[in-house]
Amino acid sequence: MNNMLGSVLLISLFLGRAMTGDCQRTIQPITPNELKVEITINKSQFKGFARLAEFVPEGSVIKYAKTEGGTFMVQDNKIKFIWLTLPKQDFITASYVIGTEALKAGKYPVSGKFSYTEGEQTKEIEIPATTFTVTGNQVASSAPSSPVTPSESTAISKVPETKSAEAKTAPETKVAAETKASKVTYSLQLLSTKDKLAGDYFSKKYQIADPVRVETVDGLNKYMLGEFRSTEEAVTYREGLTKKGCKDAFVVPYSNNKRITSDEAKRLESGK
């Protein structure tokens, strides 16, 4: 085994697992220099918009990604998954592959945050880090640590890995809620036509599963998608649409369910 692999870096990992099943991240080696990361979310208590952000070590490369009913965007050592509306099934998964060729021997964390809407609030949960170890000549393993017991206010829990016998107890998962709803929301305009399109036009042509609404403005039918809390979320989702071939979508700001200009949106967000 050692002769075959030579000096190629191998990967050992510490797996964390939440016994409650609300949120679970697993990391598995698939080649000597690649890891598959998979996050499984039990969304029985969530619906509507949600976002998952995962952070990988600097120097590693996110090569592939996949999710159900949503889209994703990779930027440097961060990958973001966005669901306008969470799929109907109770369990959804998001996965990606990390390339570790450029990493030196050592321990590296993968961390993340999951956010979702609850009424008019956006809540954010920190998902404790899962650590993998790059070594020079062997693959080691470690049993998962005891689960973190969720509190009444904890929507998602995840068991952090045990790094060593002296490892400190992991901090409790924190939920941060916005103090007030945003004054401005954003949607994506996919297309504008004089004649109405078939109801399944976008699902058939671009495999868009999320609902598309029609607004009539000045005699034109404008096809709108989503209700985002920020331009960043809208742009991230648009990146996924572009990959599906829907390349003309652009961001439109709203206030009190009415279209506004970009200047008006900036003024409202600044509180002026």
* Cα–Cα separations (whole angstroms), residue 234 to 71, 230, 267: 11, 7, 19
Please give the share of the chain, as a percent, with pLDDT higher than 70.
74
Name the domain boundary from 177, 195, 210.
Answer: 177
| Angle, alpha carbons 201-202-204 (nearest 5°) | 70
pLDDT at 272: 59
Backbone angles phi, psi at 170, to 5 degrees: -65, 145
Residue 34 predicted with pLDDT over 80 = yes
Residue 215 lies in domain: 185-270
The predicted-structure confidence for 154-178, as pLDDT tens digits, reads as follows 222 223 333 333 333 333 333 333 3
Residue 21 predicted with pLDDT over 50 = no
Residue 190 predicted with pLDDT over 90 = yes
Q: How many CA atoms lie within 13 A of 248 on its CB side?
A: 8
The predicted-structure confidence for 95-144, as pLDDT tens digits, reads as follows 999 999 888 888 999 999 988 877 777 788 888 899 998 886 433 333 33
Name the domain boundary from 136, 151, 177.
Answer: 177
Domain count, the chain: 2
Q: Do 31 and 154 sit in the same domain of this protein? A: yes
Q: Do 85 and 158 sit in the same domain of this protein? A: yes
Taking Cα atoms as reference points, which of 172, 129, 147, 135 lies closest to residue 14? 129
Q: Do 192 and 98 sit in the same domain of this protein? A: no
Name the domain boundary from 148, 177, 206.
Answer: 177
Type and span of the H or E element at 125: strand 121-135
Q: Do 166 and 195 sit in the same domain of this protein? A: no
Q: Do 192 and 217 sit in the same domain of this protein? A: yes
Residue 242 predicted with pLDDT over 50 = yes
Q: Do 253 and 148 sit in the same domain of this protein? A: no
